[in-house]
Structures are given as C-alpha cells and as structure tokens.
Homo-oligomer: A and B are copies of this chain.
Amino acid sequence: MSLRNEILQVTKELLIKEGFSKISMRRIASRANVTATSIYLHFKNKDDLLLTLIEESIKTLKQALQDSVNSEYGLTDQLRILAETYINYALNHPQEYEIIYMVRPEEMPKYPKDKFRDVRSAYELIADIIRESDHHEYIEVEDSLISAYTFWAQLHGVVSVILNRRLDTRIPQSTFIDQSIEHIIRGFINQKTPA
C-alpha cells in the first residue's frame, strides 16, 4: 500500500477509535510509522487530508447505494433494500460514515460547499427511486425530495444511535435494526392514520 493510502487508512481508524478531536498529524504519522513531516509530502495540510478522506468516503457510499438499485424490485422491496444497504454500509464502514455525516461542519475548517453538494446527490438518488416508482397508489409522495430526506433522516437516526453507542444494552442491535426498518418502511405506505 502506498504511503498516501496508508495515511488515509490510519486516519480513518484514528477517527473512529479516538474521535475527531484526537486526530493529529503526529498521531497519524506515528501510526503509519513515518514522521509527521512525511504527511506533508502527500497532503498540503491537515484540512487537505481530511477533505480527501471525505471525498473518498462519499464516493464509496454513493456507489454502495447505486449498486443496490434494481428496477425490477417493487418500491417497498427497493426501499427496504436501500435501507438495509445504507445501514450495513454505515455499520461496516463506521469511519467513512462518521466522516460524511457525523462530523459537524464547524469542526471541519473550510469544508467546501461543493463537497456538501456531493453528499446531497446521494439523496437525489433515493428521491429518484421514489419519484420513478410505479407504485404511487401505495405511497405518499407529495414531494419526492422531501420523502427522500425523510427516509434518510430516519435511517441516519438509527445509525447514529448505534454508532454513538446510545442503544440500550438490553436491546439486541439486530432486533433494533429490523424493527426500525419495519417502522420506516411502514411509514411510507399510503395509509392515513385511522380515524
């Protein structure tokens, strides 16, 4: 593995293990068995390194979602698969997920706006799926973009609770996930609350 990639990898690990505030050039360097100075041969500065990380992470999440799209699924199945994909990605790549969604913009100096736009395009993907669905009879879609965000927000909530270790220890994680997905999907079905 090239040093550049090693640095990126190490940084991801540090991020998830010790949190954003504990990331330092020295720590990264030490983990990668190089001098802090060496990092500057591959990245302009700390911001550059972190932004590179963000970019790459966004790319892999988008790819994972796109790979789970199949026009042959019905809408419900498609949403369920998207939800599962999303949650799986987040739990299997907590570092990347952390970087994309859980690091507050304020902590990221000079986080450029076009990166944000890049992240948003992931929701467009979900919005497209909902919009293009044939199954309008089943679903509430006054506005597919809002629905996409609603869908995502709920998924993000589920993931956050787990990644932040706020889930009650008495609850098995898989049960929580299954039931959450069930709730989320059901919320999208076009049935008004019974009178």
Stretch of A48-56, A62-70, A149-157 that contacts chain B:
A149-157
Q: Per a CB cutoff under 8 Å, which of B18, B149, B185 touches A167?
A: B149
CB <8 Å contact, A166 and B22: no
Beta-carbon nearest neighbor of A142 in chain B = B179
**A114 in contact (CB, < 8 A):** no
Residues of B within 8 A of A143 (CB): 171, 175
**Main secondary structure on chain A at its contact with chain B?**
helix
**With A17-B106, A158-B153 as contacts: A193 and B187 at CB distance below 8 Å:** no
**A10 in contact (CB, < 8 A):** no
A56 to chain B, nearest CB (A): 19
**A183 in contact (CB, < 8 A):** yes
A31 to chain B, nearest CB (A): 16
CB <8 Å contact, A180 and B161: no
Interface set, chain A 135-168, CB cutoff 8 A to B:
138, 140, 142-143, 145-147, 149-150, 152-158, 160-161, 164-168
CB <8 Å contact, B158 and A19: no
Question: What are 15 contact pairs spanning A and B, CB under 8 A?
Answer: A104-B164, A120-B166, A138-B194, A140-B183, A146-B176, A149-B171, A150-B183, A153-B154, A153-B161, A154-B154, A154-B180, A154-B183, A155-B157, A157-B160, A184-B187
